[in-house]
Amino acid sequence: MKVLKFGGTSVGSPENMRAVMNLVTDGEQKIVVLSAMSGTTNSLVDIANYLYKKNKDTARIFIGKLEDKYKQVVEELFTSDDNKKKGLQVVHEAFTTIKSFTSGTFNLVGENTILAQGELISTNLVTLLMNENGHRTKLLPALDFMKIDEDKAADLHFIRDNIKAVFQKIGEADYYITQGFICKDANGEINNLQRGGSDYTASLIGAAIDADEIQIWTDIDGFHNNDPRYVENTQKIEQLSFNEAAELAYFGAKILHPQTVLPARIQNIPVRLKNTMNPTDGGTLITSDSDGRGIKAVAAKDGITAVKIRSGRMLMAYGFLKNIFEVFEKYRTPIDMISTSEVAVSLTIDNTLNLNKIKEDLGKFGTVEVDEDMSIVCIVGDIIEEEKGFASKVFNALDGIPIRMISYGGSRHNISVLVPTVNKKETLQTLSSKLLNH
């Protein structure tokens, strides 16, 4: 069985929802993972933020606007009065839940429950639509099997066991629809796989059922060799290895949630990226093979903070790095890049939740400097094969860019440079013209 995920734009209007229905109903049994309609999760985040700020009146205005939008969607989506009524009931239930948080104190459970409503609405509406059009379709409730643990890591064992049970409970259908993004956490509360997480849902389900293929359908024809939001004339890549795709996704290529590739790689399930607006295009195929050598693509990840610890005690001493790493471990803060000299170590983090405590603890080992608003630009490909002169090619291309850190040699798939975010666009553009499209 295949797992197909459709993103926000792909289900962004009644017309697009119908296009998705026509695409998936080819007689082959499948699981379809849906995001919320485009713009919905952003609106729900805004609503939650107003509630946190106790700005309840503004929250109510935005809730009302969003509800009106969905009533219009229902009106346009269904033909029969009976289904229009059922569609309105779906919308009514979701908005009753959202409105219930406009009184009393607001907390994380409220926020996560509000954020979940977008996927709950889109999946219920598309399931109704498909049945109205004679396609035997059932809803697989993601909250009954998608789970994260205390460390917010997906619990694949739980997902595998419980999706089986849910299949048995709901019985046979030609098409199964489920919610991307949403899950339960270790406390049994509604939670999510972070923004863009529907891709990750699809790969987790793919791994859990040992799918033949995981397809991520979106609004572009596949993985491009640079970020089309910042660079013109980017080109589609036909094929990527799991490792290359994982590095690109982790380092900011928005087309894939950072963790999407991992479950697919473990089970060796091909991942195909496809364009909902141009379904006959082959898209990008991600497998264990790497075709071709050299540089494939670049990507950038924003919101990076660089931390530098300088200490005379580091000179000729062992145990220094261990002490430094222990601080980050203590505050559960992952490190992305690292670079050392005899007297200093620089590293980068993107989670600054405990930065002040980290700084305080690191202060015991030396002088600490922090640089915010940085971006990691990551150059990915089968790089080791690129003979001599590779590094100089990259550095020549980056001539004039203020590079703050470099990581080279950690993996054969990745060279990363740290630049101030204000220089990110320029960095991506110069890499495109001098390294990728020459």
**Which residues in this chain contact ligand ASP in the complex, by CB under 6 A?**
7-8, 35-36, 41, 118, 180-181, 195-198
Which of residues 237 and 374 has its CB atom nearest to Mg ion in the complex?
237
- Judged by beta carbon distances under 5 to 8 A according to partner kind, the member of Mg ion, ligand ADP, ligand ASP, none in contact with residue 227 is ligand ADP
Please give the residues from 287 up to 346 whose contact with ligand ADP meets the rule CB under 6 A.
299
Shortest distance in whole angstroms from residue 47 CB to Mg ion: 20
Q: Using CB under 6 A, which of the segments 184-192, 218-226, 370-378, 413-421 binds ligand ADP? A: 218-226
Which of residues 181 and 320 has its CB atom nearest to ligand ASP in the complex?
181
Which of residues 9 and 311 has its CB atom nearest to Mg ion in the complex?
9
- The residues of the shown chain that bind Mg ion, judged by CB under 5 A, are 7, 196
**142 vs 120: CA distance, rounded Å:** 9
Shortest distance in whole angstroms from residue 303 CB to ligand ADP: 15
**112 vs 135: CA distance, rounded Å:** 32
Q: Which of 20, 36, 48, 253 binds ligand ADP (CB under 6 A)?
A: 253
Site for ligand ADP contains 223 (CB under 6 A):
yes
Site for ligand ADP contains 197 (CB under 6 A):
no
The dihedral of CA 223, 262, 269, 169: what is its sign? negative
Q: Which residues contact 62 (CB under 8 A, 6 or more apart)?
A: 43, 46, 47, 50
Residue (of 265, 143, 254) closest to 214 by Cα position: 265
Six-digit token string for 76: 């346009």
Q: To which residue do tokens 């995001």 refer?
A: 35
Amino acid at 269: I
**13 vs 216: CA distance, rounded Å:** 18
Q: How many CA atoms lie within 13 A of 381 on its CB side?
A: 20
Q: Which of 30, 84, 224, 265 binds ligand ADP (CB under 6 A)?
A: 224
Shortest distance in whole angstroms from residue 146 CB to ligand ADP: 17
Shortest distance in whole angstroms from residue 73 CB to ligand ADP: 17
- Judged by beta carbon distances under 5 to 8 A according to partner kind, the member of Mg ion, ligand ADP, ligand ASP, none in contact with residue 208 is none
E-strand stretches of 206-288: 213-218, 239-241, 271-275, 284-287
E-strand stretches of 208-270: 213-218, 239-241
Which of residues 33 and 405 has its CB atom nearest to ligand ASP in the complex?
33
Residues touching ligand ADP: how many (CB under 6 A)? 18
Question: H/E element holding 96?
Answer: helix 81-99
Shortest distance in whole angstroms from residue 283 CB to ligand ASP: 18
**140 vs 331: CA distance, rounded Å:** 37
Contact at 8 Å (CB) between 249 and 261? yes
Cα Rg for the chain, rounded, in angstroms?
Answer: 23
Instruction: Please give the distance of CA 400 from its chain centroid, rounded to a whole number.
Output: 32
Site for ligand ADP contains 227 (CB under 6 A):
yes
Site for ligand ADP contains 119 (CB under 6 A):
no
Shortest distance in whole angstroms from residue 226 CB to ligand ADP: 6
Which of residues 225 and 333 has its CB atom nearest to ligand ADP in the complex?
225
The residues that touch ligand ADP, with contacts defined as CB under 6 A, are 7-10, 35, 196, 218-220, 223-224, 227-229, 253-255, 299
